[in-house]
Amino acid sequence: MTRRAFALLVVLLFSVPATAQTPWQPPRTPDGQPDMQGIWRNEASNPIPVALYSLEGDHSRWQDELDTVLGRTRTTPPTYVVDPADGKVPYLPWALLKRQEFIANMMSPAKREHIDPNERAWLVGVPRMNHLVAPLQILQLPGYVVLLYEGNHAYRVIPLDGLPHVGANIKLFMGDSRGHWDGNTLVVDVTNQDARTWLDKLSFHGEGLHVVERWTLASPDRIEYRATLEDPSMFTRPWTIAYRFTRLTEEGYEFLEDARHEGERDVERILRGGGLAGRRKE
């Protein structure tokens, strides 16, 4: 190649507009999956469990506690509901009344069903398991994606084989997940969830909850997460939450031992008297 031809080639390469450049493509696993393996932490609960308390950003009941954790004056946390535009869960009228009953009894519950399942050390379902404070690890095997959660020793084995969900009469705390890849996005269809789990400390769902998650590997250290929830018996329309996961790069990080249900006594203390405030005095 002559010097003139080489110079012309260099000019052409550097004159290509940014819009024409090849978008980032992730590395691949041996079986061709976009490789998102690693340990990740969600931005919805870092440094505090914002989405755990309320996806809608209504944190007035815990504002003093949150401000103490943050070490700053009163703030207005964001909503993670991106559709509908008002950032609210679109409950049917009867479900909204039931929700108001739960909220009225949550600080001084008189029966077990008024106590947040997370306080009871249960597995908390999908999508709530994703916005707990603890990180998660993603593993990929041929035909599967595995999510390991530090919280409650929870895990999800997501097959990619296209087989149908388990029978409708089977209800599971973490539901039944089936996945497939859409480009760099892992799409996970989740059904068969137990109605006893909640969506946050203010919101609940029914047995018909259907969740479609989209895990998009947007860069080497970022996953864009979206989940669309529908249940015609509970909501007026499907609705969507969204937040990000960032890669945890701390060298040698290991999961904590978080076996919370074994020896759990909070429920008895709460019901014995004083509600949550009474539990904190002990």
How large is the average pLDDT for residues 211-236? 97
pLDDT tens for each residue of 13-28 = 444 454 556 788 999 9
pLDDT tens for each residue of 171-205 = 999 999 999 999 999 999 999 999 999 999 889 89
Residue among 150, 176, 155 at smallest CA distance from 164: 176
Query: Do the Cβ atoms of 120 and 270 come closer than 8 Å?
Result: no
How large is the average pLDDT for residues 213-229? 97
Q: Is 227 helix (H, G, I), strand (E, B) or coil?
A: strand
pLDDT tens for each residue of 31-90 = 999 999 999 999 887 666 678 788 997 766 666 665 665 565 556 678 899 999 999 999
Question: Which residue is it, tokens 């049917």?
Answer: 92
The percent of residues above 90 in pLDDT, for the chain, comes to 54
- 12 band by pLDDT with thresholds 50, 70 and 90: very low
**pTM of the entire predicted model:** 0.84
Give 274's contacts (C-beta < 8 A, 6+ positions apart): 108, 281
* Residue 112: per-residue pLDDT: 82
Residue 81 CA to residue 101 CA, distance in Å, equals 22
